[in-house]
């Protein structure tokens, strides 16, 4: 598997775990949820480095 894809999957997993943790302790879900969605979009659609 490509290294950048593995990093993206890892970052998205961390963001999802962060949301689950915030939801479990009921920590500002209405604020955290949109931030997590935007962060996942940035991680997934950020341009990949060009390979030679």
Structure-token match 């689950």, residue found: 20
Of 35, 42, 34, 32, the closest CA to residue 11 belongs to 42
- Classify residue 28: in a domain, yes or no: yes
- Classify residue 50: in a domain, yes or no: no
pLDDT of residue 50: 74
What is the value of pTM for the model shown? 0.81
Which range of residues forms the domain containing residue 30? Answer: 3-45
Q: Considering its fold, how many domains does the chain have in total?
A: 1
Contact between 43 and 8 under an 8 Å Cβ cutoff? The reply is yes
- How do the pLDDT tens digits run along the chain, 52 residues long? 688 889 999 999 999 999 999 999 988 889 999 999 999 999 988 877 776 6
């Amino acid at each position: 598997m490509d290294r950048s894809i593995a990093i993206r999957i890892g970052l998205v997993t961390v963001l999802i775990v962060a949301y689950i943790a915030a939801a479990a302790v009921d920590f500002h879900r209405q604020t955290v949820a949109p931030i997590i969605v935007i962060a996942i979009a940035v991680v997934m659609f950020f341009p990949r480095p060009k390979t030679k």
